[in-house]
Structure 1
Amino acid sequence: MFKRIALFLATNLAVLLLLSIVMSVLQALGFNIKGNGALLTMAAVFGFGGAFISLLLSKWMAKMGTGAVVISEPRNETERWLVDTVRRQAQAAGIGMPEVAVYDAPEINAFATGANRNNALVAVSTGLLRAMDRDEAEAVLAHEVSHVANGDMVTMALVQGVLNTFVIVLARLVGRVIDGYLGGNRDGSPGLGYYAIVFVLDLVFGLFASMIAMWFSRYREFRADAGGARLAGRDKMIRALERLALTYGENTLPKQVQAFGISGAVGHGLSKLMRSHPPLEERIAALRNAPAEPVRGLGVVS
């Protein structure tokens, strides 16, 4: 658990450190990025650029990372059921038909990704196909289709871009103030300690930004559960989550799509703030306490 948190923080720190180096090099080459307007522009370019490049490459990276095989022509009855179910759910949700894929993994999991809601990917693990019945699997697919219909991939990229920009700008503005106070450089020119201060502030502010991003990710899961209940039926969605609660194992999804899986590890105390998914018992309780909504009539292919 703590190893994952450390890796997550190290990855974000590496990105912020790279941005710091690039901005410092540009400044050394004569590009004036001292002004707040110029700093904000540079921060937005880097902050949003990385998030949207990751979004644009998300399908390709997910396929490469999981070895997912897209079903172009169903080879058996199970694959035919998967494609037909996703097609009906996509039509009911008002989105384009996603690519449907299967990847080899022992855990019960599935994920959705893609740059827009009409060109997405929905993939399920072989472990899910072995462990879940059709009703439960239908609810999982509905959960993932709801992620696509809600535009969660794009929204998450926007949130991450805003947070990246916030971290870059705030770390440098606060760094100037601290450096000026400690070094007596009241004219605003950075001292030797400025870059060390910014490095530390990038880490601290990046940690808080990651907590905000993970809070939003947990909120998305409740929305996707509600959408899955509307598409497949609340009882099926609850049964699927209960099955996950009984059989959840290690999550082998690549980092870039873990937040869009049906389940994820949850922590306790401070570590809970860094998790992309809320506890399954909270998700089940939210569905049980939600007002009843009509099912959209998606039948299961037998």
Structure 2
Amino acid sequence: MKRIGLFLLTNIAVIAVAMLAMNILGVGNYMEGTSLNLNNLFMFALIFGFAGSFVSLAMSKWMAKMSTGAKVIETPRNADEKWLVDTVAAQAAKAGIKTPEVAIYDSPEPNAFATGMTKNNSLVAVSTGLMRNMRQNEVEAVLGHEVAHVANGDMVTMALLQGVLNTFVIFFAKIVAYIVDRVILKNEESGHSLTFIVVDIVAQILFGILASIIAMKFSRYREFHADNGGAYLAGKENMIAALRRLQTMQPGELPDQMAAFGISAKKSSFGDLFKSHPDLEDRIARLEATTQEQLKVA
């Protein structure tokens, strides 16, 4: 129920921001009678495409805390919490970024994630299951992987990519709907017909699938770089050990907004093209073939 509420709240915020931007920029109706105004349509698609990705990015830390129940460690209550905060602080300093907020969330399954709007306003969270089931050097490597995500600016980069993809999905879906409705079926009614709406929805679904393939391919590429950064911050052997440990575990499920930034993910039901993470075997092999001189962050 909480996730449904957060989903609705996010979408209300997206619509509000998009409508405000359209009013400020003076973007008119893209459908003028029976004609399609491509300039207005592109601006409409651009605003709604980027509004969704950047509202989600702006709300990401708050959404992460609400959806997972992650509790930020303000004052460490025990040695483990102090070690977590100190380790992330040391890694952040080495990566040249401001120390992220450090949080723990209650889950028996091992996972961790990073989120936040900028490199210097971020959150790194680990599950209780990860803390219980991994050795300290392995947890250190997982933290390094997440800090590397932050230092590499992956959250902003993914938001930009998703905004571009959203823009073209909306733009081309409506063009296809217009062609089917006005050119093929020769509908001369003013405004949006039922045919236009139905074709628009179907086209957005199909183009959205193609966009997801592109986004997931980039996500997998980004994971290799985060592993590289984690090896730089916590040691190559520790990073490999952490990935090998994950091979023996079932990763915890994360909300959609954070799933791409987790240390690992469950296998996609739709095949390799839709995986946010490369196979652990491939990640280990890539690290093993990387020299010490090639290890870096950003």
Q: Does the TM-score normalized on the shorter chain lie above 0.5?
A: yes
Alignment match, 1:299: none
SS at match of 2:117: coil
Using a 3 Å threshold, how does the CA distance of structure 1 residues 173 and 243 change in structure 2: closer, same or farther?
same
Alignment match, 2:29: 32
* Unaligned residue ranges in structure 2 (runs of 5+): 1-6, 31-35
**Matched residues in 2 for 1:169 and 1:187: separation?**
21
Alignment match, 1:293: 293
**Matched residues in 2 for 1:66 and 1:267: separation?**
21
Using a 3 Å threshold, how does the CA distance of structure 1 residues 295 and 252 change in structure 2: closer, same or farther?
closer
Q: Give 1:174 deviation, angstroms.
A: 2.0
RMSD between superposed Cα atoms in Å: 2.5
**Matched residues in 1 for 2:258 and 2:56: separation?**
11
**Matched residues in 1 for 2:244 and 2:194: separation?**
56
**Matched residues in 1 for 2:40 and 2:111: separation?**
44
Using a 3 Å threshold, how does the CA distance of structure 1 residues 193 and 286 change in structure 2: closer, same or farther?
same
The one-letter amino acid of 2:199's match is I
SS at match of 2:248: helix
Structure 2 residue corresponding to 1:177, chosen from 179, 185, 189: 179
**Matched residues in 1 for 2:295 and 2:181: separation?**
60
Identical counterparts, % of pairs: 54
Measured against aligned partners, the alpha-carbon deviations of 1:222-277 in whole angstroms (never above 9, x if no partner) come to: 1100000111111100000000001124x232221111110001247x52212211
Structure 2 residue corresponding to 1:51, chosen from 43, 50, 53: 53
- For the 8 Å contact 1:232–1:295, the answer to whether it is kept is no
* Unaligned residue ranges in structure 1 (runs of 5+): 1-10, 297-302
The one-letter amino acid of 1:258's match is A
Alignment match, 2:283: 283
Structure 2 residue corresponding to 1:211, chosen from 210, 213, 225: 213
* Matching of residues 1-302 of structure 1 within 5 Å: 31-33=28-30, 34-184=36-186, 192-249=194-251, 251-267=252-268, 270-293=270-293
Measured against aligned partners, the alpha-carbon deviations of 1:167-209 in whole angstroms (never above 9, x if no partner) come to: 0001111222222332135999765522221111011101111
Measured against aligned partners, the alpha-carbon deviations of 1:111-149 in whole angstroms (never above 9, x if no partner) come to: 000000001000111111111111101100000000000
Measured against aligned partners, the alpha-carbon deviations of 1:83-136 in whole angstroms (never above 9, x if no partner) come to: 111001000000001000111101111100000000100011111111111110
The one-letter amino acid of 2:176's match is V
**Matched residues in 2 for 1:32 and 1:154: separation?**
30
Alignment match, 1:7: none
Using a 3 Å threshold, how does the CA distance of structure 1 residues 70 and 181 change in structure 2: closer, same or farther?
same
**Matched residues in 1 for 2:227 and 2:295: separation?**
14
SS at match of 1:263: coil
* Structure 1 length-normalised TM: 0.84
Q: Give 1:295 deviation, angstroms.
A: 7.5
* Structure 2 length-normalised TM: 0.85
SS at match of 2:271: helix
